[in-house]
Amino acid sequence: MTKTNTVATSSVSADVAAGVAQFLSPVVLDLQALVINGKQAHWHVRGHNFIGIHELFDTVVANAQDWSDLAAERIIALGLPVDARLSTVAAKASNPELTAGFVQSDQSIAEVIAQIDAASASLRIAIDELGEIDPSSQDVAIEIARGLDKDRWFLVAHLSK
């Protein structure tokens, strides 16, 4: 059993902190999965547009890492821990499985978009629920959603005919 010591690091109540953690923790896990899976896609993408997609996946990964950190630090600033260990991410993230090995760019892009969509689903729930609990935390989720939408747009543009 893990003992959690909540330290009063902000003016919010323990109930508010718990509510924020409830809705931002899945966001952290899905974004960490996007980091891992995005790097996997980055290494294995193939096709005529390799270099552009390879570099774009690096941007997606870097952004997801930054946003995961932003969400995690919000939870921690409110006095609660975050569990984003690899085993926890593997067990609890909602991201779909990637194809193993080398993958043609169109399929790889579609799979990374699916990763973004999984994280976006967690974000939509967080945005909806956090408005009632803590508007500052809702702002964090909105900022992340805005950025994920942009990354998704850049990827979708490669698949559009």
Digit-coded pLDDT (tens) for 124-146: 999 999 999 999 999 999 999 99
Helix (H, G, I), strand (E, B), or coil: what is residue 45?
strand
Report pTM: 0.91
At residue 12, the pLDDT reads 79
Pick the CATH number of 14-159 from 1.20.1260.10, 1.10.1060.10, 3.40.190.100, 3.40.710.10: 1.20.1260.10
Rounded Cα–Cα distance for residues 140 and 146 (Å): 10
104 φ, ψ (degrees, to nearest 5): -65, 150
Pseudo-torsion of CA 95, 100, 103, 105, nearest 10°? Answer: 20
Average confidence (pLDDT) per 10 residues, the chain, 161 residues:
53 90 98 97 96 97 98 97 96 95 97 98 97 96 98 95 78
Q: Count the Cβ atoms, other than its own, within 10 Å of residue 40.
A: 21
**Mean pLDDT of all residues in the chain?**
93
